[in-house]
Amino acid sequence: MIDSRKPPSRPLPATTCDTEPFWSGGEHGELLIEQCDGCSYFIHPPTGFCPECESRDTHFQPVSGKGFIETFTVNHKRWVPGLPERYVLALVRIAEQADVRLATNIVNCDPGDVTFDMPVKVLFEENDGLWIPLFEPVGSAA
């Protein structure tokens, strides 16, 4: 018997009822961001509460998956076994709303090529039933 289970390749987020759609939308290729029914404000991380108009009526809205690198750092230390030694930790602001910033990794490019305000698009890495949103440069062949 071969044990086909493999250890998770990156630390998994804790999910709650509020955040679960954010982590499962990738199964259908959708980046889902919580949006206020009343004023259309995007809320992230999801809280079920709109800080703009104080409404508690929200839904998860598919967004374009496009964004820009707000800030980033290149990790040079192997914190977690299985993760590459050099990888890019970034905050990506979504194209729809500048103050929605996702903490993520930039993949499919050399970390040395990453720049501020670089246009990126989402892709998903399935991991233990969660679909982790990662981003790659727009125009990346992968």
Cβ proximity to Zn ion: between 50 and 102 the closer is 50
Q: Do 119 and 138 contact (CB within 8 A), yes or no?
A: yes
Query: Under rule CB under 5 A, how many of the chain's residues touch Zn ion?
Result: 8
Among 12, 28, 29, 39, binds Zn ion (CB under 5 A): 39
If one asks whether residue 33 binds Zn ion (CB under 5 A), the answer comes out as no
**Pick from 21, 38, 45, 48: which binds Zn ion (CB under 5 A)?**
38
**DSSP for 32-89, written as a single string:** EEEEETTT--EESS--SS-TTT----EEEEEE--EEEEEEEEEE-S--STTS-SSEEE
CA 92 to chain centre: 8
111 binds Zn ion per the rule CB under 5 A: no
> Of 24, 47, 55, 75, which one interacts with Zn ion (CB under 5 A)?
55
Cα(122)–Cα(73) distance, integer angstroms: 18
**99 binding Zn ion? (CB under 5 A):** no
- Interface with Zn ion by CB under 5 A: which range of 24-32, 34-42, 100-108, 114-122? 34-42
Peptide bond into 137 cis (omega under 30): no
Minimum separation from the CB atom of position 51 to Zn ion (A):
8
Q: Tokens 């259309």 map to which residue? A: 40
Q: Does 36 bind Zn ion (CB under 5 A)?
A: yes
Give the binding site for Zn ion (CB under 5 A).
36, 38-39, 41, 50, 52-53, 55
